[in-house]
Amino acid sequence: MIACEMRTRQDWENETLTPSLKRAPERRASFETPSGIPFEIVYGDSAGEFPGEYPFTRGVHPTMYRSRLWTMRQYAGYASAEESNRRYRYLLGQGQTGISVAFDLPTQLAMDADDPLAAGEVGKVGVSVSTLDDARELFDRIPLDKISTSMTINAPAAILLALYIAVAKEQGVPEGKLRGTVQNDILKEYAARGLYVFPPRHSMRLVTDIFAYCGEHVPHWNTISISGYHIREAGSTAVQEVAFTLADAIAYVEAARSAGLNVDDFAGQLAFFFNAHNDFLEEVAKFRAARRLWAKIMRERFGANDPRSCMLRFHAQTGGSTLTAQQPMNNVVRVTIQALAAVLGGAQSLHTNSMDEALWLPTEESVRTALRTQQIIAYESGVTGTVDPLGGAYAVEYLTDEIERRANALIEEIDRMGGAVRSIESGWMQSQIAEASYHYQKEIESKDRIIVGLNEFKSDADAADGRHIARFNVNPAVERRQRERLAAWRARRDAQKAAELQAQLKAAASGSENLMPCLVACVQGGLTVGEIGRVLRAVFGEYHPPTVI
């Protein structure tokens, strides 16, 4: 419920508390400390702001983790679909509650494994997926009607979502039962990450096509994960992470409305993806401020009426750029602090990095420790016993207000430039991130910022760090096998039908119709990710960024 008038604690309990607990009986309704001290669901003024109500500073759900824990996802994918599938089923067996798929660079750039430009990159930083057969193998023995899947894919997000839908149909799972997220956030690729393919205007069309299609056919799917994570990894401050992420989100909402969509028809399917760094109190406040700022933007700027349209629901990942190759065991501590900040900040989903990720892809042992970190926070720390436990703390409330104020000022500056797309096309957003990154690095080099084991508290044994840790390597034969699989796939498919589908896709892309139905038909008919990518490149062109000095 969005409350316009002052409400009392009794109003909140009567109208929201009991139904929430009834909806989620898997979590007990009463909590006590080990000393037997009872925990109430929430603490605060009897006539103050409550969780689950506008502007959602204290959380998007009334009872938060008292009713249901966050989804525990470990980002994983490497080599072939078969090997990645084994890792997913291993993690699910260890208590992971959702899948998060990492794709290799060729797949992220809409290229097949046998593309000349893919040489040396197949399966290296994620799983190689070129065909429907790869997608079948990736999700083999994983019931897609019961598991929530997140896919970190952007430029070709519509193609990979089409593959996922096709596999689900083969499993007998209707689109309406699918749950998960496709990242689909192309603006942060232009600003911070660099894995773009098509020019912004055409990319935004693909984004809004997913909005419209899922709004009608896949209602429980998060159609975008608007990402501050990569903006922060590129060197931004926490304030910039909030501001630039929400500025991108504003651009997506405006693009969807320009495409004829009603804000309350799609906004409830928007999700966000934030970083969790080491400055514990600032990170907790960042998440609270982002929720409040987004709620105000949606209501005051876009006139959203549905409370779900105003909820900033987010996945968090601990900061990869904060991990050090020196003294890698220290990374376990860093990840724990960051994960706790995400939980106390109210995350709906969380990935914890593994201690060896500054050295190589994580081993099973290190990824299990990362997952256990989440489980210890959930079941042993006691922080899930009450909602927004740091709410009301003077320092946290001050930082929440200040981050909101400063982020809003940056958003207003971006508005004056003409919006996020214009600020990216001009190179302004990229330059702001680069400047923040430069200052951060200067602080490390001057020791104004201490990184334990890196610029202080070093030891003679640091040169050998990592040698005692089991190393994970991707077998170089993966690329050869993937090329062979592709050749066999093309040999056994209907070549005439494949040619017809490419012609149909070219015609659809040249027009203005929603491309998702055509893409689903294309992957079902045997077209590969790279073939679809080549057709779209031919129609849309490719993006070449401005030079920023």
Token readout for 224 is 């975008």
Decide: 135 and 114 in contact? Cβ < 8 Å. Answer: no
Decide: 292 and 274 in contact? Cβ < 8 Å. Answer: no
Confidence of residue 8 (pLDDT cuts 50, 70, 90): confident
* Closest to 277 in 3D by CA, of 240, 233, 314: 233
pLDDT value at position 25?
37
pLDDT at 3 over 50: no
Nearest-angstrom CA–CA distance, 142 and 90: 11
Nearest-angstrom CA–CA distance, 525 and 498: 7
477-489 confidence digits (pLDDT tens) = 999 999 999 999 9
pLDDT at 11 over 90: no
pLDDT at 20 over 80: no
pLDDT at 358 over 50: yes
Distances (CA, A) of 138 to 63, 167, 202: 35, 10, 29
pLDDT at 359 over 70: yes
178-208 confidence digits (pLDDT tens) = 999 999 999 999 999 999 999 999 999 999 9
Q: DSSP characters for 466-520?
A: TTTSPPP---THHHHHHHHHHHHHHHHS-HHHHHHHHHHHHHHHHSSS-SHHHHH
DSSP H or E segment with residue 226 = strand 224-227
**Burial degree of 499 (CB within 10 A; 0-12, 13-18, 19+):** exposed
The residue assigned the tokens 């040999």 is 491
Q: What percent of the chain has pLDDT over 70?
A: 94
318-328 confidence digits (pLDDT tens) = 999 999 999 99
What mean pLDDT comes out for the span 375-395? 96
Nearest-angstrom CA–CA distance, 499 and 535: 11
pLDDT at 22 over 80: no
pLDDT value at position 460?
76
Nearest-angstrom CA–CA distance, 411 and 416: 9
pLDDT value at position 45?
83
Q: Are strands 148-152 and 98-102 parallel, antiparallel or unpaired?
A: parallel
Distances (CA, A) of 28 to 22, 67, 159, 369: 10, 7, 41, 26
Q: Are strands 224-227 and 270-276 parallel, antiparallel or unpaired?
A: parallel
DSSP H or E segment with residue 435 = helix 428-445
Confidence of residue 500 (pLDDT cuts 50, 70, 90): very high
Beta bridge partners of 101: 76, 151
CB atoms within 10 A of CB 260: 8
473 or 133, which is more confident = 133
- 3-12, 69-78, 535-544: range with lowest mean pLDDT: 3-12
pLDDT at 1 over 50: no
What mean pLDDT comes out for the span 526-542? 98
Query: Which of 280-299 are b and which e, b meaning 16 or more Cβ less than 10 Å from the residue's Cβ?
Result: bbbbbbbbbbbbbbbbbbbb
What mean pLDDT comes out for the span 262-285? 97
pLDDT value at position 10?
74
235-260 confidence digits (pLDDT tens) = 999 999 999 999 999 999 999 999 99
pLDDT value at position 435?
97
Beta bridge partners of 39: 31
Confidence of residue 464 (pLDDT cuts 50, 70, 90): low
CB atoms within 10 A of CB 28: 11
pLDDT value at position 21?
47
Phi, psi of 47 (to 5 degrees): -125, 45
**Burial degree of 46 (CB within 10 A; 0-12, 13-18, 19+):** exposed
Confidence of residue 26 (pLDDT cuts 50, 70, 90): very low
pLDDT at 125 over 60: yes
Nearest-angstrom CA–CA distance, 482 and 305: 49
pLDDT at 29 over 70: no
44-70 confidence digits (pLDDT tens) = 987 789 999 999 999 999 999 999 999
Diameter of the chain measured on Cα atoms? 72
Decide: 100 and 75 in contact? Cβ < 8 Å. Answer: yes
pLDDT value at position 368?
96
pLDDT at 400 over 50: yes
* Closest to 184 in 3D by CA, of 212, 210, 147: 210
Token readout for 164 is 């996922």
Decide: 268 and 222 in contact? Cβ < 8 Å. Answer: no
pLDDT at 532 over 50: yes
279: left (phi over 0), alpha (psi -120 to 50) or beta: beta
Q: Over the chain, what is the mean pLDDT?
A: 93
Confidence of residue 6 (pLDDT cuts 50, 70, 90): low
Q: What percent of the chain has pLDDT over 90?
A: 88
3 or 114, which is more confident = 114
pLDDT at 332 over 70: yes
Beta bridge partners of 365: none
Nearest-angstrom CA–CA distance, 252 and 140: 34
